[in-house]
Amino acid sequence: MNHAAPDPCTVVRVNPHPGRGSVLVLGTPRGGTSVVAGICHLLGVPMGLDIDPSNMEDRAFREFPKTTGCAERVASFFTELHEQHPLAGVKDPAAIDWLPDVYDSVPEPVLVVVSRDVYTVAQREEVSGSEFFDALHGAIQRKYAVLDFVHAVADPLIVVSYERLMHDPRVAVHSLARFLGVEATDELVDRIVGRVRPHADMPNDVDFVAARADFERSAVPTRFRRLRLARRAS
């Protein structure tokens, strides 16, 4: 009998265009979307143009539903985002409230859904001042709204179990990298795994934005050394 633990990630619909597309990290508030978005960002998938490191949300994107011409703003946002990065995205656990209305404005969506126990979500909201049953009802509603939405569309989809991610982050990181079509070196995976911590205070305990910037700076000398060695060999 095989007692191996399940992969934290389930690929529901394969990604036919790895390395390209608009990654949408969806879930519920307090549901683990921040850490999954941080993993994507550290893997080299920019999660916005102006990222708030406390929750990995693009500051402009989360304000779009409060403005007029939301669909046009979303289209312009992704055009600018993809000018430098063929694969990039955003995270907003509240986006399911308005995303279906502007979904056609998102080019080549790649869906990353984060699932967390709704009772845990409600408990975290209660600590922040919400009434427990109101928070529980809201989490359940949003969870079903996300499920109904991603089931109705045909775009690439991977589902991440937050609890299993915390238990086995290395497997989850490799699964996400394969699904997205990005390279995950051992050094990079080690950096990411070291930052996957339950109940971490972002950005004080973990800053994924700064970590990616540090990784890119450290990678530049390595690339130059490889280039020099290749030139000498030729």
Whose tokens are 């995950």? That residue is 184
Rg (CA), the chain: 18
Given this model, what pLDDT does residue 181 score?
97
C-alpha to C-alpha distance for 71 and 61, rounded to whole angstroms: 11
Q: Mean pLDDT across the stretch 175-179?
A: 98
User: DSSP assignment, residue 31?
Assistant: S
C-alpha to C-alpha distance for 110 and 90, rounded to whole angstroms: 11
The CATH fold of domain 9-233: Rossmann fold (3.40.50)
Give domain limits for the chain. Answer: 9-233
Strand partners, 109: 22
Task: For residue range 61-112, list pLDDT tens digits in order.
Answer: 999 998 889 999 999 999 999 999 999 999 999 999 999 999 999 999 999 9
Q: Closest Cα to residue 120, out of 23, 200, 30? A: 30
| pTM metric for this prediction | 0.90
Given this model, what pLDDT does residue 127 score?
85
Given this model, what pLDDT does residue 157 score?
98
Task: For residue range 9-30, list pLDDT tens digits in order.
Answer: 999 999 999 999 999 999 999 9
DSSP string, 145-174: HHHHHHHHS-S-EEEEEHHHHHH-HHHHHH
Q: Which two tokens stand for residue 87?
A: 């694969």
Burial class (CB in 10 A: 0-12, 13-18, 19+), 36: buried
- 163-174: buried (b, 16+ CB within 10 Å) or exposed (e) per residue? ebbbebbebbbe
